[in-house]
Amino acid sequence: MKNWDSLDENGVCSSEKDCEDAYKVCQNLDIPFHQVSYVKEYWHEVFTNLLKEYEKGRTPNPDILCNKHIKFNHFYNYAINGLGADAMATGHYARTSQEDEDVFQQSHVAPPPKHVFRDRFEIRNPVRLYQGADRFKDQTFFLSQISQDALRRTVFPLSGLTKDYVKKIAAEAGFQHVLKKKESMGICFIGERKFEDFILEYLEPKPGNFVSIEDGKIMGEHQGWFTLTLGQRARIGGQRDAWFVVDKDITTGEVFVGPTTNHPALFRDTVRTDRFHWITEDPPTELIQTKMMECHFRFIHQMPLIPQGGAKLVKFAYRALASPCGGPGCLQADFGHQLNGVSWLTGYAGGCYKEHDLAGHVSEDA
């Protein structure tokens, strides 16, 4: 699956090499190889949205949008309806509640029961998204906006494996060319370039001032508020100490900064959102009945869900959230429960901003 035209960016995304590697694996396993391109769809449904959100002063997550619109929508429909597949398998470190269904746990007998695998997807219980065995590589954060239909017919073969064990299997199978590949980090289409340099190729520079949140002093200049994320370190020339972005005013172009990572201006106790995506039900019964529910919270994909009863327990109604959410990078959040020691995700919201920044809106896809 190809989503970005590498010719536009001088080969920054090594899509051709990735294609060759995938073809070699298919040859080794003696399975068919199919290649599809969603460059146009990615541009219109993911990247264009990305630019619009940056212009509004927000920080979208392209991986979440790509999974929602491309991989678990266009590619999913191609696999199921185009190729006639029973299900789609991906390499995400995650699992679903269907891994525990009786139909999927039947032991192998000769001859095997007919349609056991296919019947699995006819079970009409809501399918939940669970964390996999490798909690450090957990990718449920990036899957938090996919549809119930797509999740029902998706298999995660790596659900019970760790990354180290997967590498061991690959080595034993002779896939040395895959093991030598660098692990994918960050946004693929940006590559090795600085984010500011990349985004300014698509958005007009809008210079403004860095302003101290403490005394209103002008600290320096920036090329556009959309190149900066709340919580990140602001690169201000001539400053010995580190300053961090605490707020942005897109009407004046001013970016407010504060010293140290624990400055009070970096913390929030309220965030508003006008729409949640519920994977299993819309919305949970508890929220409908009481207009309030308790859930777990995190704002970085490798951060564990804060356990129930902790000091940072999140309570929210339809349009309001409350949590001592603070610190650099407080920008995205998963909302989930924990049942019998297993965390499962029910909804997703992006953003951790001041109320006046949101006006009841976090992002168009939150």
pLDDT tens-digit map of 61-110 = 889 899 999 999 999 999 999 999 999 999 999 999 887 654 455 454 45
Catalytic residues: 66, 188
Pairing of strands 254-259, 208-212: parallel
- How many CB atoms within 10 Å of residue 45? 17
**pLDDT of residue 147 exceeding 90:** yes
pLDDT of 31 above 70: yes
pTM recorded for the entire structure: 0.77
CATH of the domain at 24: 3.40.50.620
End-of-domain residue from the set 137, 157, 190: 190
| Pair 131, 242 in one domain | no
Asked if 33 and 182 sit in the same domain, the reply is yes
3-state SS class at 314: strand
Q: What CATH number does residue 295 fall under? A: 2.40.30
Averaged pLDDT score across all residues of the chain: 76
Choose the final residue of a domain: 128, 159, 190.
190
Cβ-based burial of 215 (10 A; exposed 0-12, middle 13-18, buried ≥19):
exposed
53 belongs to a structural domain: yes
Tokens of residue 87, six digits: 């299900």
pLDDT digits over 214-266, tens only? 999 999 999 999 999 888 999 898 888 899 999 999 999 999 999 988 899 98
- Structural domain includes residue 354: yes
- Domain check: are 177 and 243 in the same one? no
| 24 shares a domain with 157 | yes
Indicate the DSSP class of residue 45: I
Distance of CA 176 to the CA centre of its chain: 29
Owning domain of residue 323: 267-358
Specify if 16 maps to a domain: yes
Instruction: Give the pLDDT confidence score for residue 197 in this predicted structure.
Output: 85
State the Cα torsion 146-148-149-155 to the nearest 10°: 70
End of a domain among 265, 280, 300? 265
Going by pLDDT thresholds of 50, 70 and 90, the confidence category of residue 14 is low
Q: Is 71 exposed, middle or buried (0-12, 13-18, 19+ CB in 10 A)?
A: buried
Percent of the chain predicted with pLDDT > 90: 36
Q: 222 with 92, same domain?
A: no
Considering its fold, how many domains does the chain have in total? 3
